[in-house]
Each structure stands twice: as structure tokens, then as C-alpha cells.
Structure 1
Amino acid sequence: MNIIGRLTADAKASILKDERSVVNFSIAVNDSYKNKQGEWINLTEYVDCSFWQSPKVIPVLTQGTLVELTGWATARAWTTQSGEPKARINFHTSQFKILKRGEKKVVENVTQEDNHSGSNPENDDLPF
């Protein structure tokens, strides 16, 4: 089974009691359809995912990255202590393909002095 979606946050690795590691992340899967009235309905489903093969994938599984996952899904249902029914789908990922990398937001702190340091940007020797 394959699904395509965007990571909702950076992936995180966990070490289990038996010393196995698992990488957990969540993706948003978008779908749309026309209803009987001819209006477009947009849906977003969130799927919890796990990858058991190696934590080395964490640097590429970042928020916003569009991925195609291959694997299988399991569902679990439970009742909270307050009696509310809950359900989750977990996608056990065996392979993935990066379709488009997420854009990292880089925040720079620039002071007033840094902006007016006397250098002329037109004369800077750029490495590209």
C-alpha cells in the first residue's frame, strides 16, 4: 500500500525497552471531491507513521517534506477514562521516497550595526 502526504513536524527517534529504535512522524494526506451539489470538498486526514529500519533517516524527514510511503496500515481503538471512544491509524513504513523537501525556516538576528557595516554588497566576492 502506498500513501502520499506532507510531514506535519520533524521526525523523532525513540529507543524502546528492548533497545530497538523507531522513527515516528505524522503526515497530512489531502483529498478532494465534488459533492452532489457540485461543490468541491477538501479533506485532510492525519496519519501516524513509524519507520523501524534506521534512525539515520531523521535528517531528511522534516516538516513540510512531501513523501510517498510504502507499507501497511494498522488501526487501533480505545476508550478514554472519561468514556470517549478514540481511534488511530498507524502506517508501518517499509520504504519511502522524498518527492519534495520541506523548506526550513532560517531565522537570523540582524542588528542595526550589522546592516550598516560599511561594506558595499555590490563589491562583495560571492562564492556563486
Structure 2
Amino acid sequence: MEIIGRLTRDAVVAKASAERQVVNFSIAVNDSYRPKNSTEIKRIVTYIDCSYWLSTGVAQYLKKGTAVELFGRIGLNVYIGNDSQAHGSLTFHTSNIKIIAFVNDSAETEKNTDADAQKSRKEPDGLPF
């Protein structure tokens, strides 16, 4: 199965057991449709929890807003809650991650450039003119 979306938060590496680690992250998948007999387009967002077990090195590249294409399978987690009721959740178990677009850090770069410019204006340069 293949899904494409953007990360909703930075990936987190969690320890599953003494020797196993997993990269957990969540993506948002945007979709749209037009209801029958309507001209209005409805937009929906589906949030999907994902896990990647093969390597934790990829976590450093999985930042909020990064567009990814994922290949894998859907897993079902079922458990009995504190309220004695059965609960379930879906997780996309990723076997291959393809990064489509990285997050643009231009806002952070602009902040640093502005701060450097202000700093240089305040400091005397030692020139007599």
C-alpha cells in the first residue's frame, strides 16, 4: 500500500525493547471531493499514525511539514481500556520512506540574517569616518 502526506510533527525514536527501536510519526493526507448535485468542493484531512522499524537514522530528516511517500501495510492495535471497553487504533507500518520535499527553513534563516544585521549596526566598526 502507498500513501503520500506531510508530517504533522517531528518524528520520535522510541525504545520498544532492549535491542529494538522504532521511529514514530504522524502524517496528514489531504483529499477533496464534490458531493452529488453540488458545485462546492469538500476538503478533508485524514491523520495517520506511522511507525518505521528498519532504521532510526531516518528520524533526523522527518521534520514537521516534510512531504513523504510511504510504502507499507496497515496494522490494527486492539486493547482493553481502563473503562473495560475494547479500543482500537490503526497504524501504518512503513517499510519504505521516500522524502518528496523537505521543510523550507527560510523563516529561520531570515531571523538569523536580521539579527546579524542589527548586531553589526550597533557595534562600532572602528573606522574614523
Instruction: Answer whether TM exceeds 0.5 for this pair.
Output: yes
Distance 1:100 1:25 in 2: 16
> Over aligned residues, Cα RMSD in angstroms?
2.7
Code of the residue aligned with 2:97 in structure 1: it is: F
Shift of 1:19: 1.9
**Separation in structure 2 between the aligned mates of residue 26 and residue 42 of structure 1, nearest angstrom:** 19
* Paired residues, number: 119
Identity %, equivalent residues: 38
Partner of 2:12: 12
Structure 2 portions without partners, runs of 5+: none
Counterpart mapping for 1:28-43 below 5 A: 28-36=28-36, 37-43=38-44
Q: How does 1:46-85 map to 2 (within 5 A)?
A: 46-77=47-78, 80-82=81-83
Measured in 2, the distance between the counterparts of 1:89 and 1:73 equals 7
The answer for unaligned runs of 5 or more in structure 1 is: 120-128
- Give the counterpart of 1:114 among 96, 110, 119: 119
CA 1:85–1:44 in structure 2 vs 1: closer, same or farther (change >3 Å)? Answer: farther
Stretch moving more, 107-116 or 52-61: 107-116
Q: Output the CA distance in 2 between the equivalents of 1:69 and 1:113.
A: 43
When residues 113 and 93 of structure 1 are mapped into structure 2, their CA distance, relative to the original with a 3 A threshold, is: closer
Deviation for aligned residue 1:14: 1.0
Report the Cα offset of residue 18 of structure 1: 3.6
Structure (1/2) with the larger helix percentage = 2
Match of 1:99 in 2: 100
TM-score, scaled to structure 1: 0.78
Any idea what the Cα deviations from partners look like across 1:39-81, whole Å, max 9, x if unmatched? Answer: 1110001000000001000111111000000000123355654
Runs of 4+ in 1 over 3 A off after TM superposition: 76-87, 107-113
